[in-house]
């Protein structure tokens, strides 16, 4: 499929991910996708970013705090393609930064407490899943 978009283009093409797309570019986290291989991105919607306190976002947007913003965004990326059906069978896995992420199943699939809203948007170098909360390193809800 030569006309299929890569992960950066796929995320940027979806209005609901405009904040995530903007922050990925601003922080330099998009460089992750220049690596070889495929990735799975759990992309928070714009509504998810509204749940973060203004003070915390202002802090992360400061030039000197870009590395923290980049680390937070990279926390949303897993190596390889992980389809929603396969996530149902997982209890935990490791993201591209080597940090654990946890999966739970109940009314829906959740990653660190965030619900999967839209599943398996295909890109040339991976998959995008929409989630309803921003994943923060060191915080997980079961």
Neighbours of 73 (CB within 10 A): 24
How far is it, in rounded angstroms, from Cα 129 to Cα 120? 5
Question: What confidence score (pLDDT) does residue 137 get?
Answer: 73
Which of 60-64, 72-76, 137-141 shows the lowest per-residue confidence on average (mean pLDDT)? Answer: 137-141
List, for residues 87-131, the tens digit of each pLDDT value. Answer: 888 999 999 999 999 999 888 999 999 999 988 899 999 999 999
pLDDT tens figures, 17-67: 999 999 999 999 999 998 889 999 999 999 999 999 999 999 999 999 999
What residue segments make up the domains of the chain, in order of their start?
A: 7-131
Q: Please say if the pLDDT value at position 142 is more than 50.
A: no
Which CATH architecture is the domain 7-131 placed in? Roll (2.30)
């Amino acid at each position: 499929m030569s006309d299929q978009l890569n992960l950066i283009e796929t995320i940027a093409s979806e209005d609901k991910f405009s904040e995530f797309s903007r922050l990925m570019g601003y922080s330099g986290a998009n460089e992750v996708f220049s690596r070889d291989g495929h990735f799975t991105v759990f992309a928070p919607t714009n509504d998810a970013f509204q749940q973060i306190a203004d003070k915390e976002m202002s802090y992360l947007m400061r030039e000197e705090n870009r590395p923290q913003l980049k680390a937070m965004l990279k926390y949303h990326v897993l190596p390889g393609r992980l389809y929603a059906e396969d996530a149902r069978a997982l209890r935990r896995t490791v993201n591209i930064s080597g940090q654990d992420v946890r999966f739970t199943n109940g009314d829906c699939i959740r990653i660190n407490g965030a619900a999967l809203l839209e599943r398996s948007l295909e890109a040339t170098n991976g998959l995008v899943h929409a989630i309803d909360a921003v994943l923060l390193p060191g915080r997980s809800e079961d």
